[in-house]
Amino acid sequence: MIVVAKCVNSSCRRCYRFYLRNCKLLQFCSAFSCSKMAPTRVISRASRSVYEPIVVKSVDHLNSDNAPKHYTSDYEGDDLVVRRGFPFTLLLTLNRAILPEENLAFELRMGGRPMVHHGSLVRLPQIDPKPNEDVDGYTVLASAGENLTVKIHTSAKTTGIGKWLLVMKTTHGRRRLPYVKVSDSIVMIFNPWSKFSDNSDLLVSTKCM
């Protein structure tokens, strides 16, 4: 547990540096002994867990559900092969439940220095898509404790073809927690079934037949 204490004497050598840095409000382990520390309140370890960054412990690509909808059942390997312009579903297992005051966002990244204007970075905010809308974003299908089921939407016009890294960003109030990896095994391919695809998809599809 952590003892949140206020130093009653700034001349205490063991806490003087922290006294200056934290404006008299310090956090020390309860094993820290100093006769000049006056405890004001105690925070249990359980209450501190809400400030732990979210970590994705595992991800289920739900291939048995996604592959038939994307016409990719014949593709072999561990990667999730999906067609741009068609949404796909993921089941995430997190290290803790998402708090009501926390906001999530996802990003698709490609390469070492992904940039939006290069097409190698696709931001995926939470959206409420309309039917047959070509849009980037995500929707939450289910959230129960540490399990989170999301549907990822990509644009058939602008999403690049290739292997993507999917990451998740959490915002807690004004505090932005670090990006965490969701999956680096998402392969985006052309989609001649989408009405939003350009003619290049149709040409590639014809050549591959």
C-alpha distances (whole Å) from 72 to each of 80, 88, 191, 198, 200 are 9, 12, 11, 20, 19
At residue 175, the 3 state secondary structure works out as: strand
To the nearest whole percent, how much of the chain has pLDDT over 70?
A: 70
DSSP 144-157: ETTEEEEEEE--TT
Highest mean pLDDT among 16-25, 84-93, 191-200: 84-93
Count of other CB atoms within 10 angstroms of residue 74: 7
pLDDT in tens, 164-197: 999 999 888 777 778 899 999 999 999 999 888 7
pLDDT in tens, 104-136: 999 999 998 999 999 999 999 999 998 888 999
pTM above 0.85, yes or no: no
DSSP 3-47: EEEEES-TT-TTTHHHHHHTTTEEEEETT---TTEEEEEEE-HHH
Higher pLDDT, 182 or 31: 182
- Residue ranges covered by each domain of the chain: 2-50, 52-208
Q: Which one is the CATH code of 52-208: 2.60.40.10, 3.30.420.40, 3.50.50.60, 3.90.550.10?
A: 2.60.40.10
